[in-house]
Structure 1
């Protein structure tokens, strides 16, 4: 098992001087972030396709063992009827992210805030998500944002396909703790700007214990500090990495 910890994206102006050293060029920010963190969730893919060469460049910029998770396109997930997204899913999957090779982590399929659970629609949506792309095995996580998904039928569908249900530490979204896959995907969204490390020491200690509990039994774990006080997210991730190493 491996526990990887990171943030969403790597280009954020307030991080310059707070996380990135003054004078570091934007071109070198990914390489710097990848040596301070162990994973990044790519959010740009939510808004549009990325150039094929970008995937090769990103893979070359980070060290061995580093992992990128990929956020699925909003054209796949922000729909009233998820089962109608087949063509959008095909376009998303064919943009070239398999060039990341062993640096490719799970894909996060984040559903719309108001999307409610419809068993038949969700089952048909899962049928559109392949287990492999370009011969590369894929791991999938589903991030739901409505309490109607706190339902045994939803968990059963995810478990049957080895799809992780994203654990959200959030004031706005349901907290589903059930483990439905051979990996865990968590998004921690309560960082505070008046705390240098986003979460206080006691909370970070607790998250370190939780991460190790999730990993028990050889389960890979992916933890991202997302939203909240975004300027503090890299410091929160580094503080958690430090605790996990001790």
Structure 2
């Protein structure tokens, strides 16, 4: 196999995990460190809800070992409020907020779309075309941030490396073959999401990486995965790993199943 598997959880700060996945008495500031000793990756979710600060990104980076990778969830202001249009300044703010401070731990950037956002080829083409393809291009874009980031922007990068992206649509209209064509042209992964049947599951590979989000097989955000289900996902991941990297994140955190399932899948792939 030529690819690498990055299995993790969608976030890591959940009260339900304390005294269960996290041992009793573990202080909150060490939870990420504990997770990163057991898994190779995690989705950073706070960036979806609000612009984070550079010091936060630096703290998260310092808490994980070499080789650990963060997937960063793109701003919902871009995806849900602007609906991917006229997003130049919002994208600049996102990249100026400290994303680049993750350095070598920065993995793919995820754009999760609202269910009501239907496929529009012109909108998708324009949005993907505006995304910076390298960290140097992201830094150049970040310099166009607005006044909200004055005095708190992170405007440096350690190396110029490619950036990866993934798109998680939740409208059946994205099954239009043109959507996959546009994503493939820009090298953006179409997310395969398991949502207990709530939203479509797209399984078309459109990039040199595959991005999977497991929200629960029978109950959204809650149900755990059985051994046979994990065996099935492991088999699928191994197939993709023959020629590309694979990122898999468990988002079934409501009952604390996510970290246990992630560790179990990661073990199957090692």
- Matching of residue 141 in structure 1 with residue 147 in structure 2: no
TM-score of the superposed pair, with normalisation by structure 2: 0.85
Q: Give 4+ residue runs of structure 1 displaced > 4 Å after superposition.
A: none
CA RMSD of aligned residues (A): 1.7
Give the total of aligned pairs.
242
Q: Give the Cα–Cα distance (whole angstroms) in 2 for the partners of residues 129 and 41 of structure 1.
A: 19
Cα offsets for 1:133-190 (capped at 9, x unmatched): 2344211101100000001111010000100001111121111111000000000111
Worse-matched range after superposition: 65-74 or 50-59: 50-59
Tell me the TM-score normalised to structure 1 length: 0.94
Q: C-alpha separation between the residues in 2 aligned to 1:221 and 1:62? A: 20
Tell me by how many angstroms 1:216 deviates: 1.1
The whole-number CA distance in structure 1 between the counterparts of 2:88 and 2:8 is 30
CA distance change for structure 1 residues 192 and 237 in 2, over 3 Å: closer, same or farther? Answer: farther
Q: Structure 1 pair 90/240, CA: closer, same or farther in 2 (3 Å)?
A: same
The question of whether the paired residues in 1 share the 8 Å contact of 2:83 and 2:117 is answered with no
Aligned residue number for residue 93 of structure 1: 95
The 3-state SS of whatever aligns with 1:241 is helix
Candidates 111, 114, 119, aligned match of 2:113:
111
2:30 alignment counterpart:
28
Partner of 1:168, secondary structure, is strand
Deviation at 1:88, TM superposition (A): 1.0
Q: How does 1:15-54 map to 2 (within 5 A)?
A: 15-54=17-56
- 1:4, distance to aligned residue in structure 2 (A): 0.9
Q: Secondary structure at the match of 1:50?
A: coil
Query: Does the 8 A contact of 2:5 with 2:241 survive in 1?
Result: yes
- For 1:224, the equivalent position in structure 2 comes to 249
Which blocks of at least 5 consecutive residues in structure 2 are unaligned? 140-159
Structure 2 Cα separation of the partners of residues 84 and 97 of structure 1:
21
1:27-71 Cα distance to aligned partner (Å, 9 max, x none): 111100101111100110001111111111111110111110000
**Match of 1:78, SS?**
helix
* 1:233 is aligned to 2:235: no
Q: In structure 1, which of residues 166, 169, 186 is the aligned counterpart of residue 212 of structure 2?
A: 186
2:269 is matched with: 244
Gaps of 5+ in 1: none
The match for 1:201 is 227
Task: Note if 1:165 corresponds to 2:167.
Answer: no
Give 3-state SS (helix, strand or coil) of 2:62's partner: helix
Over 3 Å counting, the alpha-carbon distance change for 1:5 and 1:85 in structure 2 is same
Quick one: structure 1 residues 228 and 14, their matched pair in 2 at CA, closer, same or farther if it must change by over 3 Å?
closer
What do the CA deviations read for 1:69-119 (whole angstroms, capped 9, x no partner)?
Answer: 000000110146422222211111111211212211100011111100111
